[in-house]
Amino acid sequence: MKLFHTDPGQDRSSTRHPLRLSFLIVFLSMLMTAVLLGFAQANQTVHAQTTESTVTSTPTNTPIPTRLPTGTATLTPTSETLNMDLFKALIRARILILIRAKILAALTPEATAPPESTATLSHTVAIPMVMNEALITPTVMVAATPTPTAIPPTIPTVAPAPLSPPIVPTPDGALRTAQIPILMYHYLSVPPDNADIYRRDLSVAPDLFAQHLDRLREEGYTTIRLDDLLLHLTEGAPLPARPVILTFDDGYRDNYTNAFPLLKERGMTATFFIVTDFIDLGLPDYLSWEMVREMHAGGMSIQSHGRNHASLKGRDDAYLIWQALGSLETIEHELGERPRFISYPAGQYDENTIRIFQSAHYWAGVTTVQGATHSSEDLFELRRVRIRGATSADELVRLLALDW
């Protein structure tokens, strides 16, 4: 029986030469194995003679310490931890692999190139050894060739369009007064049955508010903004024949659901003084920023009623600055327009309050003091006309006609 198939015309000497080389490799490998095994046994004998104490108990599978004790640092395991059977088996396996590779190489002179592979094999060969009989096995890791990650297209950053500069009043120094009623509303809804006296007094029903608006138009009144009044007092800017200003304090949610639609239907405007912290907290009875933005886009004026509806009277500078700038910057951030008017919460303020809000570049402030006559010398003490839940359309006309 032929061990190897050859071509009939092939020279047999070319076959015997690789076999002779392979047997030589086997002999040398066996010789190397004997030398290595003898060295390992000798090393074990020497170590046993120099060991001060012998281990008589069976080692347990205790965890490998993360840090070696002082004086025992070594790069190779000691002979008592080296499992000789595993070491011998590894040597034999490596020799057999080497012999097989040499024989195949000798029998196949023309090696074909391996096919291209889409995966790259990286072999990590670890010598198996036993440390306290915990076997560390060889591992073969297959790492796939990473595919190129598509780089997302660069999206150009579009800078927001600059806001239109506000009309800044430039007082001409002339003393002016004007009788222009500023109406003060709060709730725009029917109060609940268990409402207290204050809620009932501050609540105007939606149908009653509609009557107010219709009556204002019938009497020839035109709704304007606080900006218009300020420009008139400081520069003498013209106003319509019968101007009136509508304001709402506290920023209740019914201002959006009830007042805002009625105003839009009639092409009228109003000013809403909001409490910014209440909106930030998402209190259900108050406006949300989405509502405020819609109202602002619909032609309503949004101004400051402080951060938390706390009194601004008798406060130190730091607290007043926190109130003035905190509310101002929040509204400007949400709407892109800086508020210029303050409605003092509960009507409480003093000279220091006015000084701080002036330094924060507010233009004017409205009070709860009854009246309709304003002066260019008292821009931070503008008076208003309180509208109550029982104020009928006829009563409203009467209040507008008062000289106060």
Summarised one tens digit per residue, pLDDT across range 82-132 is 456 655 655 666 666 666 666 656 555 444 444 444 443 333 333 333 333
Nearest to 310 by CA among 284, 283, 359, 348: 348
Q: How far apart are CA 77 and CA 75, in angstroms?
A: 7
- CB count in 10 Å sphere of residue 327: 26
Sequence ranges of the chain with CATH classification 3.20.20.370: 177-401
Tens of pLDDT, residue by residue over 270-313, are 999 999 999 999 999 999 999 999 999 999 999 999 999 999 99
The pLDDT assigned to 50 comes to 47
Say how far residue 308 (Cα) sits from the centre of its chain: 25
Burial, 310: exposed, middle or buried (Cβ in 10 Å; 0-12, 13-18, 19+)? middle
Higher-pLDDT residue of 55 and 90 is 90
| Three-state DSSP state, 217 | helix
Nearest to 391 by CA among 181, 192, 204: 204
Highest mean pLDDT among 30-39, 70-79, 216-225: 216-225
Q: How far apart are CA 74 and CA 130, in angstroms?
A: 15
Kindly state the DSSP code that residue 335 receives in the 8-state scheme.
Answer: H
The pLDDT assigned to 94 comes to 62
Say how far residue 318 (Cα) sits from the centre of its chain: 30
Record: fold of 177-401: TIM Barrel (3.20.20)
Question: Residue 3 above 70 pLDDT?
Answer: no
Cα distances (Å, whole numbers) of residue 220 to 85, 216, 397: 111, 6, 11
Strand 373-375 vs strand 177-179: parallel, antiparallel, or unpaired?
A: antiparallel
Nearest to 277 by CA among 346, 330, 345, 356: 330
The pLDDT assigned to 169 comes to 84
Question: Residue 338 above 70 pLDDT?
Answer: yes
Of 54-63, 191-200, 339-348, which gets the smallest average pLDDT?
Answer: 54-63
Tens of pLDDT, residue by residue over 393-404, are 999 999 999 999
Strand 129-131 vs strand 373-375: parallel, antiparallel, or unpaired?
A: unpaired
Q: How far apart are CA 216 and CA 246, in angstroms?
A: 11
Cα distances (Å, whole numbers) of residue 349 to 182, 305, 316, 320: 19, 12, 12, 10
In contact, 366 and 331? CB cutoff 8 Å:
no
